[in-house]
Structure 1
């Protein structure tokens, strides 16, 4: 039996990149996937995520969602439960990147990055937990929260002020939820990716930055989205039923060096 058979999942930011890879892996393992994103078209090109899942015989819907809006997050969970009856796993992945230091960061820029990367995660965690408490446990767990953090939430990256601060907050948010809601049978973990090549355009493909990442990463290749998807699959499964509050590094040994 597929290891996520009959599980209902939400993956935010699932139209592109890491979110897309996690959504596809969940569907391959039997989960119903709600693809939540501000746009449906993949930034790296290719077929729409929910269409790929349905074409392969899986169950998926797309719900347009800006996680920086409580009303949008509330509607996302409501629609998930309306269509599928419950929610078992939420993967909080949607985020925006902004590479500036303290003095270069404008108040509007700060508000936008924190509004998505931290407040948006708070909204998603809270609304998911509210739903978890309404439903009966499945294998002694009411629901699972998986937050995508970053190695930049644990070590400083030059000129990465708003993004790094937001990801550091996600790591602490994960621990706090895990401790506060263990008695509620809610599991909360995080995944901290290292350098992952997603194919999306922009600063992530800067040749100088890629060269530095290759030299800095002990493993002889950089990461790909499926590396993160594998960790997300493990944390969503019954194999990870005594892990909570963990920030799982998927970084090719970067943080160990």
Structure 2
């Protein structure tokens, strides 16, 4: 019997991240719930364990390298290694005209949505290379956004940070393809999470839903199913993909 596969999910204390963590656990993957929010993160980890899964919570500010190093140390101590890294933690600012945005807005979205991936790569890829040497699967999924593919006035710098995340994903897929570490991105449309009020701006939620052919917002389960699929053996020939999970929004 081989040891269970291990997934680190950032921002897993709520929203998409919680859904991803719970979906991995359902498949028997050991999960590291990484989040700055201790209460939410602990609850998600405890719920997984209560249902018979394997999970630990590790407090993590994804904008700090030392936090990533701690997550890796805790993961290795608990589960012996890592197979999957899900860079889900994200941030935005309230939708507004670009000339009203601030340097703080710019720094926030780029630190949380892009610099976090920089640290993730530098800390986690060496561990994933070790996983590959032992014959285990290794994959990274960056949670980007449909806003990284199409324009979204009112959220210019947020969109830019997500477009950068997609570009990074494609470049890493090429660079680490020979090592058999796969990098893919998920691009959710407007979703039912705690951040959804930040994206609305001048439009109503109803108006945004009307732009989605399947007629609803994305749910954590939608993002979780696609993320877990991209880490699965069935997706072993998929790398460098930016997968819209958007109900047809980009069609």
TM-score bracket for this pair, using the shorter chain length: over 0.9
The equivalent of 2:227 in structure 1 is 232
Q: Structure 2 regions of 5+ residues with no counterpart? A: none
**Kept after mapping to 2: 8 A contact 1:140/1:185:** no
The equivalent of 1:120 in structure 2 is 116
The equivalent of 1:18 in structure 2 is 16
The equivalent of 1:160 in structure 2 is 155
Q: C-alpha separation between the residues in 2 aligned to 1:233 and 1:138?
A: 22
Q: C-alpha separation between the residues in 1 aligned to 2:235 and 2:18?
A: 22
1:170-209 matches, cutoff 5 A = 170-198=165-193, 202-204=197-199, 208-209=203-204
| DSSP 3-state at the match of 1:94 | coil
Of residues 11, 33, 37, the one that matches 1:35 is: 33
Of residues 215, 222, 225, the one that matches 2:217 is: 222
Q: CA deviation at 1:125?
A: 2.4
**Kept after mapping to 1: 8 A contact 2:83/2:131:** no
1:70-81 matches, cutoff 5 A = 70-81=65-76
Q: C-alpha separation between the residues in 2 aligned to 1:201 and 1:223?
A: 11
Q: C-alpha separation between the residues in 2 aligned to 1:37 and 1:48?
A: 11
Pair 165,127 (structure 1): closer, same or farther in 2 beyond 3 Å? same
| DSSP 3-state at the match of 1:191 | strand
**Kept after mapping to 1: 8 A contact 2:141/2:230:** yes
From the two aligned structures, give the one with the greater helix fraction.
Answer: 2
Pair 42,212 (structure 1): closer, same or farther in 2 beyond 3 Å? farther
Cα root mean square deviation, aligned: 2.3
Q: Structure 1 regions of 5+ residues with no counterpart? A: none
Deviates more, 1:19-28 or 1:124-133: 124-133
Number of residue pairs matched by the alignment: 250
The equivalent of 1:7 in structure 2 is 5
Q: C-alpha separation between the residues in 1 aligned to 2:235 and 2:97?
A: 37
Q: C-alpha separation between the residues in 2 aligned to 1:201 and 1:218?
A: 19
